[in-house]
Amino acid sequence: MTVPDPATRPEHGRLALEDQLALVARGDEDAFDAVYDQVSGPVLGIVTRVIRDPAQSEEVTQEVLLEVWRSAFRFTPERGTAMAWVMTLAHRRAVDRVRSAQRATEREQRSARAEIPFDQVAEAVESNLEQERVRRCLGTLTDLQRESVTLAYYGGYTYNEVAALLGVAAGTVKTRMRDALIRLRDCLGVAM
Amino acid sequence: MRILHGRKEPHTLAGAYAMDALEPQDRARFEHHLTRCDACSQEVSELREATARLALATSVSPPSALKEQVIAAARSTRQHAPVTIAKPRLTNRRVLLIAAPAAAGLIAVATVFGLANSDNSQQLGQAQQRDQAIAAVMTARDATMMSGRVAGGGTARIVMSHQKRALVFMATGLPALPASASYELWLVGPGGDRPAGMLPAPAHGMTGPVIASGLRQGDHLMLTVEPAAGTAHPTTRMMLDIPL
């Protein structure tokens, strides 16, 4: 069992990511090393999924991890898990990079790629339990819900763009996104 | 209709917000709403646990070199919160050894050790001054890292401090130039362009670090290829543009 289950607290004497972050906030370099080991794979994964370009993805991943180092004190356990906090930083930064650096041509190229169904984008992705669970839960969504989530979260599109891509009213996409995440939350057994 | 709907039920934006799928204006408006709506904040937190799982499902194995880069960079990056653990003070010399590879991101520590060791000769005084100026920028409270691709090849990285009105520039993978030519840095602002220094020949694939000072509001950092002696104004195409 090499893949840590994010839903459970680590055992075997290892500190939870939350506790490690608290140490990082006090400048503890060993704790940052441990945090790196836990979050770098998912950070690089989601950043690469959104940005696509490997070199840029590595750059942004470095920025995200440094942001974790610099801003660890901002993490508040009452508002969610440490992993969700880091993933939020990573996703937002990836999306910001894609949107700010975007030229029309790049946008079109990405648009073509973003329409690849979730199942087929699994190249270079470590097969893990989490992936199977997420895939199964995505499978419980309606087509519109799933496409909205996939395009927005993995494709980095705004809901207006998603609406345009899918040919659906923006208001509809907006509510489908929320419904979809609520369903995913329940299906994945997210515990706060 | 959408706006009306949004005003009446802003919480319907929670899903799009949790996926960073709002335009900047909507994002700002929703974040304002979050400050007054505890239920919405709670919902966003829960939805973000779900999106985090979407992210975890994409996990890959990072290249092993990435860890060294990140850890080294962290060592030289000031944290936003005051550090409460008392640590022995580092001399400027030592700060540079740690700070320089960190800021470069892609540069192995060994490279900078090599660079620093080469200073252990006659030019120590001058080198020390330069090192101290570089260390001062890198360890400035407001130091920020930025990077940009160089047209023609290579990646430029800078650590900038508005407080010190200076930046430290490094690059990797710049195409080699004939002896008659050099890369020249420029600060280009509303008032025109100013030469900001010639780049030395690369060592171990790395160019710099060099310091450029005298930053002004609205400056961009640019790069051109010029005659080795340098010029007062750029004469070739800009290969880099980083807004500062």
As a three-state string, the secondary structure of B125-170 is HHHHHHHHHHHHHHCCCCCEEEEEECCCCCEEEEEEECCCCEEEEE
Which residue has 């709506």 as its token pair? B37
The arithmetic mean of pLDDT across residues A23-38, rounded, is: 93
Would strands B181-189 and B220-227 be described as parallel, antiparallel, or unpaired?
antiparallel
Count of C-beta atoms within a 10 Å radius of residue A154: 21
Please list the pLDDT of chain B residue by residue as tens digits (244 residues): 344 344 456 788 999 999 999 998 899 999 999 988 989 999 999 999 999 999 999 999 999 999 999 999 998 888 875 433 333 333 343 334 444 444 444 333 323 333 333 444 444 566 667 777 777 787 777 877 788 888 888 888 888 888 889 998 888 888 888 888 889 999 998 888 899 988 888 876 678 888 898 888 889 999 999 888 888 888 888 889 888 8
Task: Measure in Å the smallest separation between the Cα of A32 and chain B Cα atoms.
Answer: 8
pLDDT of residue A139: 93
Among left, alpha and beta (phi > 0; psi -120 to 50; other), residue A156 is left
* Contact check, Cβ <8 Å, A66/B74: yes
Residues in chain A: 192
Pick from B51, B67, B147: CB nearest A91: B51
Count of C-beta atoms within a 10 Å radius of residue B141: 9
* Contact check, Cβ <8 Å, B46/A131: no
Report whether B189 contacts B203 (CB < 8 A).
Answer: no
First to last CA, chain A: 24
Omega cis (within 30) before B190 = no
pLDDT of residue B40: 92
pLDDT of residue A127: 54
Residue A16 has pLDDT above 60, yes or no: yes
Give A146's contacts in chain B (Cβ within 8 Å): none
Pick the more confident residue, A10 or A161.
A161
What ipTM does the predicted assembly reach? 0.84
Cβ of B60 under 8 Å from any chain A Cβ?
yes
Give B105's contacts in chain A (Cβ within 8 Å): 59, 62
Structure tokens at A115: 């329409």
Report whether A151 contacts A165 (CB < 8 A).
Answer: yes
Which residue has 């309606």 as its token pair? A142
* Contact check, Cβ <8 Å, B16/A178: yes
Residue A22 has pLDDT above 70, yes or no: yes
pLDDT, mean over chain A? 82
- SS3 assignment, position A186: helix
Cβ of B81 under 8 Å from any chain A Cβ?
yes
Report whether B181 contacts B152 (CB < 8 A).
Answer: no
* Contact check, Cβ <8 Å, A134/B57: yes
The arithmetic mean of pLDDT across residues A10-28, rounded, is: 78
pLDDT of residue B146: 80
Pick the more confident residue, B175 or A123.
B175
Query: What gap in Å lies between CA B199 and CA B122, rounded to an integer?
Result: 22
Radius of gyration for chain A, computed over Cα atoms and rounded to the nearest angstrom: 17
* Contact check, Cβ <8 Å, A27/B5: no
Cβ of A40 under 8 Å from any chain B Cβ?
yes
Query: What residue type is assigned to position A90 of the chain?
Result: A
Query: Chains A and B: how many Cβ contacts under 8 Å?
Result: 215
Q: Where are the alpha helices (DSSP H) in chain A?
A: 17-25, 29-51, 54-71, 82-100, 104-114, 129-138, 143-149, 159-166, 170-188
Radius of gyration for chain B, computed over Cα atoms and rounded to the nearest angstrom: 23
Would strands B166-172 and B181-189 be described as parallel, antiparallel, or unpaired?
unpaired
Query: What gap in Å lies between CA B194 and CA A3, rounded to an integer?
Result: 53
Query: What gap in Å lies between CA B162 and CA B146, rounded to an integer?
Result: 13
Cβ of B16 under 8 Å from any chain A Cβ?
yes
User: At a CB cut-off of 8 Å and minimum separation 6, what does A9 contact?
Assistant: A16
Report whether A46 contacts A94 (CB < 8 A).
Answer: yes
Pick from A61, A177, A179: CB nearest B66: A61
For A94-108, how does the pLDDT look when each residue is reduced to its tens digit (9 = 90+)? Answer: 999 988 765 444 545
Give A48's contacts in chain B (Cβ within 8 Å): 58, 60
**Quick one: how far is CA A25 from the chain centroid?**
22
Query: What gap in Å lies between CA A83 and CA B52, rounded to an integer?
Result: 7
CA-based nearest residue in chain B for residue A178: B15
DSSP letter string, A138-180: HTTS-HHHHHHHIIIIIT---HHHHHHHHT--HHHHHHHHHHH
